[in-house]
Structure formats: structure tokens, C-alpha cells
Amino acid sequence: AQSVTQPDIHITVSEGASLELRCNYSYGATPYLFWYVQSPGQGLQLLLKYFSGDTLVQGIKGFEAEFKRSQSSFNLRKPSVHWSDAAEYFCAVGTPGTYKYIFGTGTRLKVLA
């Protein structure tokens, strides 16, 4: 069965520092991979997605993610964090051809001024 693990529940970084949020998935083949962001009181917004091809994916708001098949990982990165990036981030996996999105439990990012 598919599963998604986000090992870090909370992460705190200083504004301007780099960021990496971890995501590991379990699936027999190459799944579709997504990162969503949720601001307080809001729904989830898509940051980026990976289907195939180039393993480094660029998203909105300066985020990128790299798919590493050997590690079953899809980590999210940003070179310089802004205070407005404080939110909760969700990794999700989907089986090609279905609408079964499985979400991780999320990582809450706090940004220090």
C-alpha cells in the first residue's frame, strides 16, 4: 500500500536561511508526487508536482523539490526562506491513473525574524 512519511513535525529556521523538508514515500512503481502548502485557516495550495522526466522540479514561491528514486524521497527545498513561508507543508503521493492522493502528516514551518 502507498504511504507517505514526513519525519519532521516541526521545523524552525531563521529568515534568509535555507530550508529542506523531508518526504519519503512507499510505492512499488514511480508515483506522482506533490507538495502542498497550507496557511492558517486556509485550504491547501499546490507548490509543485512531479510526474516523470527531470528529477528536479521547480515550483511556485521559489520552492524546488528533487525526486530520488534510490532513496524513495521527494524533499522540498528553498535557498532563502521568507517570513511569509511560515505555514504547514504536506507531501502527497498519487497512483498514476487514479485519484487516490495519500497525504503525509505535514511539517509545520516556523520562521524566525
Binding site for another protein (CB under 8 A): 32, 34, 36, 41-46, 49, 51, 90, 94-101, 103-106
User: Nearest approach, Cβ of 95 to another protein (angstroms)?
Assistant: 7
Rounded to whole angstroms, how far apart are CA atoms 10 and 50? 24
CB 96 within 8 A of CB 2: no
The least distance separating another protein from the CB of residue 79, rounded to whole angstroms, comes to 24
CA distance 37 to 59: 12
CB of 27 to another protein, least distance (A): 13
The smaller minimum CB distance to another protein, of residues 39 and 71, is found at 39
* Closer by beta carbon to another protein, 56 or else 112: 56
Residues 6+ apart with CB under 8 A from 77: 18, 19, 20, 21, 63, 64, 65, 66
